[in-house]
Structure 1
Amino acid sequence: MQATSHTNRLALETSPYLLQHAHNPVDWHPWGEEALAQARDADLPILLSIGYSACHWCHVMAHESFEDEATAALMNALFVNIKVDREERPDLDKIYQLAHQVLARRPGGWPLTVFLNPHNQAPFFAGTYFPPEARYGLPSFRDALRQVADYYHRRKDSLAENNRSVLEILRSVDAGGPSSMPDATVLRRGRDAMAADYDSHWGGFGGAPKFPMAGSLEFLLRYGDGADREAGEMALHALSRMAVGGLQDHLAGGFYRYSVDERWEIPHFEKMLYDNGLLLALYSEAYARSGEPPLRDTALAAAGWLIAEMQAPEGGYYAALDADSEGEEGRFYVWSRDQVRHALSEAEWPVAQRCFGLDSPPNFEGRWHLRLAATPSQAAQALNLEAAEAESLLQSARVKLLQTRGGRVRPGRDDKILTAWNAMAIRAMALAGRWLGRPDFIDSGARACEFLRQRAWVGGRLYAGCPGGGGSRQEALGIPLRGGLPAYLDDYAYLLDALLELLQARWNSDWLAWATALADDLLERYVDAERGGFYFTAADHEALILRPKSFGDDAVPAGNGVAARSLARLGHLLGEPRYLQAAEQTLRAAGSAMTRHPQAHAALLTALGEWLEPPQIVVLRGDEAAMAAWQEQAGLSWHPRRMVFAIPRESRLPGALAARQAGEATLAYVCAGNRCLPPAVSPQQLRALLVSGT
């Protein structure tokens, strides 16, 4: 049980994760000059602990160690202790996750535990979760604390040399540099490497634990739109398997973070906004490509969950739901057989039992986590029912189970509004609205977009988000934007990408003006003018041991890849060579990394694919009502490299768009790269142009 008689400096923070630790007996500091100066003056090493509010193993380590009086006393005596929310400070997380990989020679994760030299913040020892007693091949946390502190004070000479070596390695990783433009063979090698790691039975990549890897699936879906149908089928197969497994919440919709098994059956139960934004977009496009109803149903459920549970009254989307409730992972989501039977009617129970796998042995610590073990049609056949009746009974069972679950203690919600993660959700809502025929989804994305434009775009500069949902708690604390932190590369890149999708769903000249302002600011503050590509932090960002610049994907697609694609799209739309040049230089800078490990750079592969085959841009000009039929013709089939903008007659347009003038009747302008066709004067003529490509 956590002691509540303590209060540390984190009580003054707004991050839900930091506030979770505000009453630890550990003398926690937030990252900042006060803590760094104290460590320097006292010559005490820094214990840097990085996590996030929905992280199950972060909670475990907190309960076992940070709430323990004896462990806290040791930490306070030997270290200056700094706690960081990785969602607020992805720059620090990127740097020290990379340091962990260098020092421990294996990937990191959360909680991340890194020990730093107080005089230069260089890391000299790193791990993730440490148990209170030695197990899992790990030392006890208290033993590790003593050994690390002893090493720091006794081995200053070797520490200085190790610091120099580690910093040199960190600064050499992923720096990139000018090279020749990668060609289509890199795309093929990326596709083949993904195929080699593909699980042809369960779908997805590799074994347990298994992550959705939405960026890789998006690349395969797009690459498979041409002659290579197998690539697209891999993506569709993976999405289908994920949808029926336990990765999806079969009652409320939406996705958990990853599966602990290869079958997608048992998830790690936190729900992250970024996962759901990426997967909603992917399922919407997969449905548009395939027309398979289960993919549509999955996308509809995910979008409904985002609106119902994750959208703040002010418009933005919250960051995450915790994995734990009442101190147990997954407690909110799992069932006993009797709980399900008691909630349902005699008619509903047999269908639910078969469809949700309740006729199989328990799959989660003596209870059941729901999955779609059988379709309603399969249940109907086994139970001698009509398929429509089984479908209706399953749906009514879902409603009752959801209502019953709603009476439980809910997982905690991290109510930060993060710009990059909101941008992923906005993009997803725009795509879902278009491909699923749901204008209410577009409304939701537009509200979030306007929230960011009003609250995260201040004085011509983007900020990384705001605490407390942007609501009363934030205003009461007098904090206009999340700690006043300027945005990172991902914030700019994802938001630019989202605006280009939202503009296709619903034209707004203010959004286009904002997109160009974001692109200009990105080029001014983040570009690596010497080697190409973009740094993760702005030129005037806080000085850290490293200015990160990465090309590889991690939990989300690489910002450099998303920026390259978005800048190229905007450059083609406006005829702006600066944007096209920046996109080209990014791809060149990443060329060597893409060639060595193409499968690790899915976002850049997708950007490269569009660079080699520029998007087809359709600009409709006319009265808003009259353009609907034209939009329908342009969107009858999914085309991953087609962009369609229906721009009302009265709109004033910048750049090359100004030449796409409205006539007395609606006109359609079709361009691809530097080649434009004469305007089409009817929906049928437009359709013929799109089908023939001439």
Structure 2
Amino acid sequence: MAASSEHTEGPKNKLALSSSPYLQQHATNPVDWYPWGEEAFEKARREDKPIFLSVGYSTCHWCHVMERESFTSLPVAKLLNDGYVSIKVDKEERSDVDRVYMTYVQATSGGGGWPMSVFLTPELQPFLGGTYFPPTDAYGRPGFVTVLKRIAGVWREKKDLIRQQSADTMRQLSEAMQPKAEEQTFEPSQSATAIKRCTDQLAERFDSKLGGFGGAPKFPRPAEVNLLLVAAQRDASADRAASSSGLSASGVAAPVQMADKTLQRMAAGGMYDHLGGGFHRYSVDEHWHVPHFEKMLYDNGQLAQTYLDAFSATGNAAYARVARGILDYLRRDMTHPDGGIFSAEDADSLDKMGKKAEGAFYVWTAEEIDEVLGADTERGKAFKRHYYVKPSGNIDLSPRSDPHGEFEGQNCLIERETVEGTASALGLTPDEAEQTLAKAREMLHAKRSDRPRPHVDDKVVTAWNGLAIGALAKASRVLTSEPDEVPRKLFPVIGRPAKEYLHDAEEIARFVKANLWDGQKQRLLRSFLSGPSDVEGFADDYAYLISGLLDLHSVTGGTEWLAFAQQLQQKQDELFWDDTAGGYFATAGTDPSILLRMKEDYDGAEPAASSYALSNLLRLAALASPQEARHLELRAKRTAGVFQDRLMDTPLAMPQMCAALHLLDAGHMRQVIIAGRSGAPDTEALMDAAHASYAPDKVVMLIDPSNEASASFWGEHNPEALAMAQGWNTDRPATAFVCQHFTCKAPTTDPEKLRASLKEAHEKAKRRPLVQQIDLSSLSKEASKTP
């Protein structure tokens, strides 16, 4: 049965009013789809029919394939409508539903992915699950039609047995996933062990030739690089000794080398969009060359932060340029008119024949490039050489790149040599080559804009916008340390002054607070399309947004952002905290249709909420009074304690949490207190200096004693810090204090001295009581004398 020839578009089904672009895509399918909810559940119970649950997202390539092959087919729709209650779920909007049934599919089949196809009893208990089903039998596997017919028959004959077995399976799964009932205490001394083991496990999997960890397909997992940057800082002297050989004393790759190689090869590969900026989802081959072409905000928000951190840690300006490329892409192509950032761009778009094809928007024939740049021009020659453009196509680096011959004759741009190498081959200076390539990219980008664009999933997801806020906020300070204050326009880099990124970060934060924070219910909402969805936020929405708001406070000193972060942390504790064993559940536990309540223990494409929460708690502790700090740090220890076994045995599963453990190991973060008038040039210079060096163990507190709101806030939340700032003479230049373990260095008004101070190694805490008081009088007097 050829499903494509049976295609029809009937009247709209019950998905038409959904707040999800993915569900709306299926609103004209002949399948009688229902959204996840009581209406569908009641129908299944009343008619005693099994449920067919299909989970995906709007930019999912194989979701589109299964829709074209099966869900638009009248015969398939009849089988579903007669024998099942069919439910569609957007995994990005209802990650709680996806999490439960993906856990089942992975536990019973050993794998998972999207589209996810699961058959449930009317009581929502799963009894068969998989991913993509072809429409007809092929390759020794049953097709979707065969599966539907078989399950309908078995249900009629053995529904009681199916109910019993599915209930038993979920009971076993629930017991396996249930966190320990007793509390485990994670001591700071264990942090070093977990960080070292995670780093060693990464080294064992490191691809020393091509970067990354493991073979194809290669995914950008920023959490891994984040951990390596932390590990490199922790052992800076060993890394310096190994810099000439690239090897640590043990003979394995040093953390900084693994991070450098991975970041460089990812940015050079076709997974990075050289014409438009931003990263695609992953590379299907080991060379980071041919990607799965969808672009996700959760990847790009994290990667921008990681490249900014790498720039701060290494001084490599190329990393700053990649970060700019990501952020300029988000600003240009993915921004809601009112300030939020959209979720994703599709992998598929219309090709020259008017058919949907993966990557059609992004790949080029050599002739197409010659038409734009000129075949024999210096610009054309430089571009084709630098990006490995070939008349026959360049999808030839690996058999994995194009196993089905879909990209024959096409070129997916990849940098195969340095700018210096291209310059030398063509008799240009590096600067001339750089400018030539940038102009060529801009011309090709303009030509590409005439092509049919991929579909944009224009819902605004709270969690992922938190990541974007953090990246943009960080860029506004970190990028002031670039060699040129305003870099040249090297397309897709626009060349914006760094401070302009702060405006974008604040616009997103205002959008989220206005549209995704229900002030009446005191709840975050998950997403926004034409309006806020009715799905309440999950733990990752709170954790990621709190992190972004803390970054925004750090670069602005704006206490309104810190106050919002504190409010959200209190609400996260209320909704998701496990009082018995500690740690955060992924869901609030208020929806009876969610059969499993879990604590995520894997930092994948989207890190576990607890990994971000651990860092957030410690950052908030460093900003708080000693009494409140004690409460927050104890909660952080309990959060890590939930994952103690995982962190000791297989820490590679949680590299983001291992990175956060660095803060726990430090004992107390460094406090950079800047006393000065907000916005004044001398204050801004110290704020830029405070963020210039890679120092994840610091918090920055701008306190303006002359500002009533600032003084009032800090008087309530950290009177000790306010007392120090009040020793500053308002007639003097802005002054910075660097404090650690209840001891402060001599205050300074010199940005360069502040930079140098923060480059010094973090000394481990001498375990003092957190409630110990500080004698601030001498420091306050000293501050008043500062020239």
- Smaller-chain TM-score range? over 0.9
Partner of 1:680: 747
SS in 1 for 2:603: coil
Matched letter for residue 363 of structure 2: V
| Cα 1:447–1:424 shift into 2, 3 Å | same
Cα deviation per residue 1:430-481 (whole Å; 9 max; x = unaligned)?
A: 122221121111111111011111111122623234433xxxxx2xxxxx41
Contact preservation (8 Å) 1:254, 1:276: yes
Where do residues 83-122 of structure 1 align in structure 2 (5 Å cutoff)?
A: 83-104=88-109, 106-119=110-123, 121-122=124-125
Partner of 1:344: 373
Hey, what's the Cα distance between the residues in 2 that align with 1:236 and 1:641?
A: 21
Q: 1:257 aligns with which of 270, 281, 292?
A: 281
Hey, what's the Cα distance between the residues in 1 that align with 2:258 and 2:24?
A: 43
Partner of 2:222: 214
Partner of 1:619: 673
Matched letter for residue 419 of structure 1: T
Contact preservation (8 Å) 2:390, 2:411: no
Q: Per-residue deviation at 1:174? A: 6.1
Q: 1:430 aligns with which of 451, 473, 476?
A: 473
Q: Percent identity?
A: 36
Contact preservation (8 Å) 1:29, 1:83: yes
Partner of 2:619: 569
Q: Per-residue deviation at 1:110? A: 0.6
1:150 aligns with 2:153: yes
SS in 2 for 1:225: helix
SS in 1 for 2:234: coil
Normalization by structure 2: what TM-score?
0.83
SS in 1 for 2:274: coil
Where do residues 174-253 of structure 1 align in structure 2 (5 Å cutoff)?
A: 175-176=179-180, 177-181=182-186, 182-227=190-235, 229=239, 230-253=254-277
Superposition CA RMSD, Å = 1.9
| Cα 1:340–1:168 shift into 2, 3 Å | same
Cα deviation per residue 1:80-123 (whole Å; 9 max; x = unaligned)?
A: 0000000100101111111111121x12111011111112x111
Partner of 1:477: none
Partner of 1:471: none
SS in 2 for 1:560: helix
1:671 aligns with 2:739: yes
Hey, what's the Cα distance between the residues in 2 that align with 1:466 and 1:544?
A: 19
Hey, what's the Cα distance between the residues in 2 that align with 1:360 and 1:188?
A: 48
Partner of 1:519: 569
SS in 2 for 1:295: helix
Q: 2:696 aligns with which of 631, 640, 643?
A: 640
Partner of 1:451: 511
- Structure whose alpha-carbon radius of gyration is higher: 2
SS in 1 for 2:89: strand
Partner of 2:774: none
Q: Per-residue deviation at 1:38? A: 0.4
Contact preservation (8 Å) 1:669, 1:676: no
SS in 1 for 2:96: helix
1:21 aligns with 2:75: no
Cα deviation per residue 1:370-418 (whole Å; 9 max; x = unaligned)?
A: 1112333212222233333222221111111000000000001011010
Contact preservation (8 Å) 1:103, 1:124: no
Q: 1:291 aligns with which of 293, 315, 322?
A: 315
Contact preservation (8 Å) 2:229, 2:255: yes
Partner of 1:418: 461
SS in 2 for 1:249: coil
Hey, what's the Cα distance between the residues in 1 that align with 2:636 and 2:140?
A: 46
1:44 aligns with 2:49: yes
Where do residues 457-496 of structure 1 align in structure 2 (5 Å cutoff)?
A: 457-459=517-519, 461-468=522-529, 474=530, 480-482=531-533, 484-496=534-546
Q: Per-residue deviation at 1:54? A: 0.5
Cα deviation per residue 1:586-606 (whole Å; 9 max; x = unaligned)?
A: 101111122221100112111
Partner of 2:444: 401
Contact preservation (8 Å) 1:317, 1:417: yes
Q: Per-residue deviation at 1:24? A: 0.7
Q: Per-residue deviation at 1:637? A: 2.6
Partner of 2:345: 321
Partner of 1:599: 652
Cα deviation per residue 1:329-348 (whole Å; 9 max; x = unaligned)?
A: 11011111111100113231
Contact preservation (8 Å) 1:10, 1:29: yes
Matched letter for residue 197 of structure 1: R
Hey, what's the Cα distance between the residues in 2 that align with 1:103 and 1:115?
A: 13
Q: Per-residue deviation at 1:419? A: 0.3
Q: Per-residue deviation at 1:681? A: 4.4
Q: 2:168 aligns with which of 164, 167, 176?
A: 164
Matched letter for residue 49 of structure 1: S
1:278 aligns with 2:278: no
Normalization by structure 1: what TM-score?
0.94
Unpaired segments of 5 or more residues in structure 1?
469-473, 475-479
Hey, what's the Cα distance between the residues in 2 that align with 1:399 and 1:688?
A: 39
Contact preservation (8 Å) 1:174, 1:551: no
Hey, what's the Cα distance between the residues in 2 that align with 1:645 and 1:154?
A: 68
